[in-house]
Amino acid sequence: MIKVGIVGGTGYTGVELLRLLAVHPKVEVTLITSRAEAGKCVTELFPTLRGHYDDLYFSEPESHALGACDLVFFATPHGVAQAMMKEVLAAGVRAIDLSADFRIRDIEVWEKWYGQQHGCPELVAQAVYGLPEIHREQIKDAQLVACPGCYPTSIQLGFYPLLANDLIDPRSLIASSASGVSGAGKQAKVDLLMAEMGESFKTYAAGGHRHLPEIEQGLRDMQTPDAAEPELTFVPHLLPMIRGIHSTLFARLIENVDLQALFEDFYANEPFVDVLPQGVLPETRSVKSSNICRLAVLEPQSRGTVVVASVIDNLTKGASGQGIQNMNIMFGFDETMGLAAPALLP
Amino acid sequence: MIKVGIVGGTGYTGVELLRLLAVHPKVEVTLITSRAEAGKCVTELFPTLRGHYDDLYFSEPESHALGACDLVFFATPHGVAQAMMKEVLAAGVRAIDLSADFRIRDIEVWEKWYGQQHGCPELVAQAVYGLPEIHREQIKDAQLVACPGCYPTSIQLGFYPLLANDLIDPRSLIASSASGVSGAGKQAKVDLLMAEMGESFKTYAAGGHRHLPEIEQGLRDMQTPDAAEPELTFVPHLLPMIRGIHSTLFARLIENVDLQALFEDFYANEPFVDVLPQGVLPETRSVKSSNICRLAVLEPQSRGTVVVASVIDNLTKGASGQGIQNMNIMFGFDETMGLAAPALLP
Amino acid sequence: MIKVGIVGGTGYTGVELLRLLAVHPKVEVTLITSRAEAGKCVTELFPTLRGHYDDLYFSEPESHALGACDLVFFATPHGVAQAMMKEVLAAGVRAIDLSADFRIRDIEVWEKWYGQQHGCPELVAQAVYGLPEIHREQIKDAQLVACPGCYPTSIQLGFYPLLANDLIDPRSLIASSASGVSGAGKQAKVDLLMAEMGESFKTYAAGGHRHLPEIEQGLRDMQTPDAAEPELTFVPHLLPMIRGIHSTLFARLIENVDLQALFEDFYANEPFVDVLPQGVLPETRSVKSSNICRLAVLEPQSRGTVVVASVIDNLTKGASGQGIQNMNIMFGFDETMGLAAPALLP
Amino acid sequence: MIKVGIVGGTGYTGVELLRLLAVHPKVEVTLITSRAEAGKCVTELFPTLRGHYDDLYFSEPESHALGACDLVFFATPHGVAQAMMKEVLAAGVRAIDLSADFRIRDIEVWEKWYGQQHGCPELVAQAVYGLPEIHREQIKDAQLVACPGCYPTSIQLGFYPLLANDLIDPRSLIASSASGVSGAGKQAKVDLLMAEMGESFKTYAAGGHRHLPEIEQGLRDMQTPDAAEPELTFVPHLLPMIRGIHSTLFARLIENVDLQALFEDFYANEPFVDVLPQGVLPETRSVKSSNICRLAVLEPQSRGTVVVASVIDNLTKGASGQGIQNMNIMFGFDETMGLAAPALLP
């Protein structure tokens, strides 16, 4: 049993961690922090957890308590992990940051897109980007894992077999993605009200979403050394539903291959990537509550444009589930431990 | 490990059984039948189950195969279990029927409400009504368990502490219930289309729903011997959402008690009934995907009318989860085995 | 053409007024106020109105501008109309208040339920309660109309034929109502997020909702002089949808009548109350965007409990549409003017 | 007043015609046909229309009755209008076909994509494609108008300014579109159930949707004579909501222009195309129930890929509203007559 702490556990990634860890056989959640809810029982804020965490109370984030953990998850808005990470790591604790604080290696790029100074640039280089399908080996020994964003996970896993094999023009990349509203977090904003979001669909941040530089950095990592820099046109949309991300990817093929066989082979040994049979297209509900990414690939009308459809649950494989997958790798547990339950249907 | 067969596994209660049994440590699903889908892999119909039942194929319902099971679930429309039950029980197999076939003890009443002749009246008397909170002892040794309906579960658990203690006028009972659309099953009907059901709310069957006689029989079983026959006005509604039932119950109090304490004490030892703290009202999402029933009780304006709010997931505690709870009791497993995961939120 | 001003037009009742008045042949909206949005064009806040109000800008609420109107609507939270009403009426302007400020005649009751001192008690007595089906004659000459709340409209219209004819026990009244989320207004609250409200159903304020005293006052007004005081148990619920209220009403019958004929006769001449044919139950979508209230009445199992199902669009007949109906009556226009378009389906 | 008949009025485009025509000042609906519902009052099938069409009954489609109309709408599945059109036109009646029967000029292409023989090839050449923004002049005198599909309308209006001005590479066109479920029609299919469609998002027909050849024919019509044939990769998706289509369009720019000014100028005089101000992105709800198409155009990161976001209500501008717009043009009415009401919000 390892002792796990959660910093900032009042949001949707926090409660998703709690849901999944409640039945993880190797984990005890010993600490959860929240300045706003300090003193309140976890089950008071989240009645779904009654019977599971009846003795767990939100506390102020104090360093000695964090230091007693084997692992700390940061389920916080960006900026928070930067401020606390040095102390946590110095105490010998390992950390998985679900926020954007340590995902981007170029500090200037981070500062430009997030509009603030980076609070801990000296640790960025040692952070491992926690997409296990690409960086599994480094994750094993990492002290600090920067867990990918939800859009980036769905998009990178879709382009990976194509870019790694130099099959598409890297300057032709398009991602038309759509997210359920839980992706926007638990913020008291008029724009996120059900009366505003329900029964409607729209693009947002089409001129430039913060996940763009993270995705392009990740795509670069997949390419062969001589490939041209990837250029992605990324248009996110908001769906009138709660959980799930669907990314529809487009690129110009520069070589003719059996795409279905390529994808199936490429991901044959990945426990959390499922290439659907030819002709089957993924729906977001097929991964609801699960850590799976399901993919389909096709070339409509054989006109040289490849289309990939990729679905994940934004809170699971897109955040907390992937965080636990990283934890399993870091602590030598079976990678699927605690993540084996099938998706909820209907 | 017990060998479990599922008859009629293509509907929503079927896939819910499969979802829950996939991670049950004592169960192997060895057989699943469907005339319509015979020969097809379970994961072809339900992509959510890819990786879990890749070798399980729908088969024709043949008796020798059923006879090799330790337990058979019927996840069928009413009428099917009646036709097959005699043979199944004769083979020494135990059975849990999720349909309405063996719930009502009075054959005439059953035939009136279901509009057809009962196909197996001789087995009705030996069927145990599978509401563990009331009939746990008989369930242990039952060969045939008739699992309660979804509305009946939510309503009976709400009225139970009041009727068992003779605290309300049994002729004043009202249940205003509301169900998500999965309760109507996976039927190709125009009325159930998203374009018809979405963004709307309505009563249906207000003049008489088939669950009424089942509920009234159950309420009768709770009463003290001299109490008057219960009379329930039951108005069901359809909600523009997928999972969940909410029952709002009303009755005239005939005695003044501490309702909160009564409910808390009454259900103190029940693993799947959760009485919420005073002032907290249940929401259906607080039990989504879980086998819990959450309850609140209050007397608005102290005017002598008690109100109980009761929520369950109609497919879990309202059907397949309760079926597995019954199975656990019948086979001597821990009653919560395979049913411990917290509800999905958000 | 009359000149209409709207105070507080940034919320849902405000934009509903604008939508309906855009095609009203006798009205010009000359003024709309909002402290928060002063200076902004109406179409910037509400792109749905582009092409209709391109020259209308939010302004600070100044008295001389309001004084130039023939009629002012208050589409404000409670408390605002109280502060401004004296000045508006003194300028000879007529007013329709969509808020709760002038609905309750007993000042003490108002102050108890709204938790603040009433800001203008001297005008309460002259306010006419704007439920045209009951108070049409007084509305004609009223200077100040207090438009009913959404729940109160749906509940009063359902009980009216029964109470006016002394057919039910006034101490047995129950209303189990359910509202779409737009009823909660356009407030930046976590509880109202789509990720919190979607796919869930719950009661709220079951111990006492502010609409209760308004409803009971209205029910009292319908009764015959010697009838006992009405006592209503009112349990509101929140629906995972945007528009619409459904009230399911229960009462003990004290006389046996043809309920269907009673309701049809009672409302035969009402343009905005539609009694559905026997056996047809209303759905909220059947009135979406329209000013109609649709009703069904039945006595399940002939056991002496009458059930009424009543639906309205909470923003139309439950607020702004009813406000315009009142305006039509006050200014001698055809009562249905501007309100004739059928409901939106699907 | 013209006499209008509707063939096949039981589906969603049928009831949308009835909703809009109910308040059209120049139209009387004198006939509505349905084999399945013949003899039934329109308001029995559609309670939303009670009070509007109380004397209109579905009838068998007989030619003499159709011959008494000035205009007949076909709101039927493909194949029906082909079978009846010759007789209708021969009677001197004008016709607007909302189905796909007369949209595609190349009979072979139609037969390939619709998988059946064309029933009336001799009339295809005289049919005018009813996209008023392109073919307004021909529509005026047309006897037969083939009303565009929903996806085609949203996509063509988005690409029109770009293709007409030779600004994009016609072989680089991508449309990632998403439709509410009403687009799939009122068919009793399991796939369209709320329990299947709710809370999920998916692509479908990504390998080839029937609207593709219609769109490409329309795009061809917009191009300058020497332009290369357009090639569109069209991926439609299904949204968990009822009404609305959103098309996100991508293309490679071949010339550098002020896109915002281009779009604003291009559509300056179109009553039903609204180019949003720079920086504002459209949401589908902004056109719910209205005949407007709202557009935004941008070039993310100035990398040479133009993005257009285009929204319509699939049942209004995408079907019945556009049909009425065509009718207005054909009969010399003001083009916006009966179509002026603002969109419904929220």
The total of other beta-carbon atoms located within 10 Å of residue B179's CB is 25
pLDDT in tens, C128-150: 999 999 999 999 999 999 999 99
CATH of domain C151-314: 3.30.360.10
C62 pLDDT tier (thresholds 50, 70, 90): confident
Q: Which of residues 81-110 of A touch D (CB under 8 A)?
A: none
CB contact under 8 Å between C194 and A197, yes or no, is: yes
Q: Which residue of C has its CA nearest to A243?
A: C195
CB contact under 8 Å between C274 and D50, yes or no, is: yes
What are the distances in angstroms from CA D85 to CA A113, D71, D101, D110, D127?
Answer: 59, 12, 10, 17, 11
Q: What is the pLDDT of residue B63?
A: 79
Helix D321-330 × helix D132-141 angle, to 10°: 40
Which residues in chain B are contacts of D195 at CB distance < 8 A? 12, 180-182, 184, 186, 192, 242
Give the neighbours of chain D: at least 3 Cβ pairs within 8 Å: A, B, C
pLDDT < 50 regions, chain A: none
- Rounded Cα–Cα distance for residues C239 and C203 (Å): 9
Helix (H) or strand (E) holding C85: helix C80-90
B298 pLDDT above the threshold of 90: yes
Count CB pairs under 8 A between chains C and D.
92
D163 pLDDT above the threshold of 90: yes
- Burial group, residue A346, by CB count within 10 angstroms (0-12, 13-18, 19+): buried
Which residues in chain B are contacts of A283 at CB distance < 8 A? 47
Which residues in chain B are contacts of D198 at CB distance < 8 A? 181, 194, 198, 241-242
Q: How far is A116 from chain D (nearest CA, A)?
A: 20
Residue D36 forms contact with A (CB below 8 Å): no
Give the neighbours of chain B: at least 3 Cβ pairs within 8 Å: A, C, D
Take residue D268 and report the two structure tokens written for it.
């300056």
Q: Which of residues 151-210 of D touch A (CB under 8 A)?
A: 174, 176, 178, 195-196, 198-204, 206-208
Q: Decide: helix, strand or coil at residue A218.
A: helix
pLDDT in tens, D1-18: 999 999 999 999 999 999
B159 pLDDT above the threshold of 90: yes
Q: What is the pLDDT of residue B62?
A: 86
Q: Decide: helix, strand or coil at residue A280.
A: coil
Active site residue: D69, D147, D150, D293, which one? D150
What are the boundaries of each domain within chain D?
2-126, 151-313
Q: What is the pLDDT of residue C193?
A: 98
Q: What is the pLDDT of residue B13?
A: 98
What are the distances in angstroms from CA D271 to CA B280, C24, D128, D133, D134?
Answer: 52, 20, 20, 9, 13
DSSP state of B230: P
Helix (H) or strand (E) holding A321: helix A321-330
| Percent of chain B residues past pLDDT 70, beyond the cut | 100
Helices and strands per DSSP (H, E), number in chain D: 11, 14
Work out the mean pLDDT of chain C and round it to a whole number: 97
Work out the mean pLDDT of chain D and round it to a whole number: 97
CB contact under 8 Å between D286 and C341, yes or no, is: no
Is the CATH number of domain C2-126 3.40.50.1980?
Answer: no
Take residue D10 and report the two structure tokens written for it.
């039981």
CATH of domain B151-313: 3.30.360.10
The total of other beta-carbon atoms located within 10 Å of residue D116's CB is 10
Q: What is the pLDDT of residue B64?
A: 86
DSSP state of A37: T
Strand partners, D250: D174, D307
The answer to whether A298 touches A306, Cβ cutoff 8 Å, is yes
- Rounded Cα–Cα distance for residues D150 and D287 (Å): 14
- Sequence length of chain B is 346
Of A199, A281, A303, the CB nearest to D285: A199
pLDDT in tens, D74-104: 999 999 999 999 999 999 999 999 999 999 9
B150 pLDDT tier (thresholds 50, 70, 90): very high
Q: How far is D239 from chain C (nearest CA, A)?
A: 15
What are the distances in angstroms from CA D132 to CA A218, C123, D140?
Answer: 46, 55, 10
Residues B54-73: what's their mean pLDDT? 94
| Percent of chain C residues past pLDDT 70, beyond the cut | 100
Residues D115-140: what's their mean pLDDT? 98
- Burial group, residue D97, by CB count within 10 angstroms (0-12, 13-18, 19+): buried
pTM (whole model) above 0.95: yes
Q: How far is D150 from chain A (nearest CA, A)?
A: 16
Angle among Cα A142, A147, A150 to the nearest 5 degrees reads 160
What are the distances in angstroms from CA C276 to CA B232, C150, C218, C286, D51?
Answer: 25, 20, 24, 11, 11
- Rounded Cα–Cα distance for residues A109 and D52 (Å): 61
The total of other beta-carbon atoms located within 10 Å of residue A45's CB is 17
- Rounded Cα–Cα distance for residues B110 and B114 (Å): 6
Work out the mean pLDDT of chain B and round it to a whole number: 97
Q: What is the pLDDT of residue D147?
A: 98
Active site residue: C41, C120, C147, C150, which one? C150
Helix C12-21 × helix C321-330 angle, to 10°: 50
What dihedral angle (degrees, nearest 10) is formed by the CA atoms of D85, D91, D97, D103? 60
B152 pLDDT above the threshold of 90: yes
